[in-house]
Amino acid sequence: MKTVKLGQQGLIVPAVGLGCMGMSEFYGQADDAKSLKLLDEALGIGCNFWDTADMYGPFTNEELLGKALVNRREKIILATKFGVKRGQDGAWLGISGSPEYVKACCDASLKRLNTDYIDLYYQHRPDPEVPIEETIGAMAELVQAGKIRYIGLSEVGAEELVKAHHVYPVSALQTELSLWSRDVEGMVLPKARELGIGFVAYSPLGRGFLTGAIKQRDDLERGDWRLSNPRFSEKAIASNLKLVEKVEEIATEKGVTPSQVALAWVLAKGDDIAAIPGTRHPEYLNLNWASQVIVLSENEKSELDVFSNNFKVVGDRY
Ligand SMILES: NC(=O)c1ccc[n+]([C@@H]2O[C@H](COP(=O)([O-])OP(=O)(O)OC[C@H]3O[C@@H](n4cnc5c(N)ncnc54)[C@H](OP(=O)(O)O)[C@@H]3O)[C@@H](O)[C@H]2O)c1
């Protein structure tokens, strides 16, 4: 198993983790029984770096993981997030990074997760109204209290990363990175590297698009969040499929799946990068897990790099 050391504080995780978001919301119907079985299987193969957030569900994704943790908490490297406020009815209530909010969220997450510690606690989105130093200060107090082990940030810029890291060592930055979302490679990833902060790539399969499984809007269930995402409009899909065709071409030549090429490309970006593909299917879990041993040749890497660099993705990320 390939592992990645996230940050200087010593958090070691498998290079391929498991994104759990889609098990509860956004990508189709939730089926807790199937998801619990999948989480069992994941643990069985060693895929024990699980990613959730309080706002997924909302709240039900943490509850699901809470059930999966019973009697084996220490076997799982558990990552969750706070900061995006949701109501019980699903309403979107803004962003908060206030110290009181951070502490209340942590206690609520611990309760739902059925545990007394979180391995990696992320601020999900920076709060423009609260200096990041204050938020990190509160997170540092949570480390001192033994409620969380490591600190992470999600979707912050290079400047915020520096400010935060100055207050308390940040172990991981989680941000979108895939063949169709490469902005982070410009300023942010180099800054994280300079500071010795590990990187966790979310949506490494382009929310499923890069696997080739989504060729039209009808391939998504009614109510799927992606139907309202700009990259999944009819026009965007038609154009963005040219990138998928490139991935498929390389996958066919190599005798692997497009999903494996997409993941191997992310992992090939560096030994400080872990990816957290999300799935609800055992066959996908196994394919994704196996992608850590797929080595792209220099030619394949550069072909993908150049093609995706020159490719004009249609639609914003959000
Ligand atoms: N920090 C943030 O702001 C943020 C934002 C988004 C996501 N995340 C985290 O990152 C995780 C992963 O991102 P994501 O779920 O958005 O996108 P992703 O991992 O790029 O793609 C997930 C989608 O791909 C499908 N899939 C997975 N493996 C496949 C395979 N081998 N072949 C074909 N299809 C496959 C899944 O289908 P099925 O579900 O049907 O199996 C699902 O629809 C999330 O679960 C969440 O924990 C974080």
Cβ within 8 Å of residue 298, ≥6 positions away: none
Q: Residue 141: what pLDDT?
A: 98
Quote the distance between the C-alpha of residue 171 and its chain's center: 15
How do 18-19 and 49-51 pair as beta strands? parallel
Q: 201-252: per-residue pLDDT in tens? A: 999 999 999 999 999 999 999 999 999 999 999 999 999 999 999 999 999 9
168 given a catalytic annotation? no
Surface-to-core class of residue 224, CB atoms within 10 Å of its CB (0-12 exposed, 13-18 middle, 19+ buried): buried
List, for residues 19-36, the tens digit of each pLDDT value: 999 999 999 999 999 999
Q: pLDDT tens for residues 247-281? A: 999 999 999 999 999 999 999 999 999 999 999 99
Q: Name the closest-CA residue to atom 27, ligand 1.
A: 279
From 202, 263, 289, 291, mutation site for ligand 1 pocket: most ligand atoms within 8 A of C-beta: 202
Q: What is the 3-state secondary structure (H, E, C) of 176-242?
A: ECECCECHHHCCHHHHHHHHCCEEEEECCCCCCHHHCCCCCHHHCCCCCHHHHCHHHCHHHHHHHHH
Give the domain ranges of the chain.
3-207+259-295
Does any ligand 1 atom lie closer than 6 A to the CB of residue 96? Answer: no
- Give the tokens for residue 49: 């770096």
Q: Where are the alpha helices (DSSP H) in the chain?
A: 32-45, 60-68, 99-113, 132-144, 158-167, 188-195, 234-254, 258-267, 282-290, 298-310
Output the pLDDT for position 116. 98
119-136 confidence digits (pLDDT tens): 999 999 999 999 999 999
The ligand 1 atom at the shortest distance from the C-alpha of residue 281 is: 41
Catalytic residue among 27, 56, 150, 284: 56
Is the distance from CB of 13 to CB of 51 less than 8 angstroms?
A: no
Give residue 149's region: left, alpha or beta (phi > 0; psi -120 to 50).
Answer: alpha
Q: Ligand 1 mean position to 70 CA, how many Å?
A: 24
- Is domain 3-207+259-295 classified as CATH 3.40.50.300? no
CA of 285 to the centre of ligand 1 (A): 11
Q: Closest Cα to atom 4, ligand 1: which residue?
A: 202
pLDDT, position 33: 98
Mutate to test the pocket of ligand 1, among 39, 47, 281, 291 (most ligand atoms within 8 A of CB): 281
Ligand 1 atom closest to the CA of 53, numbered from 1: 47
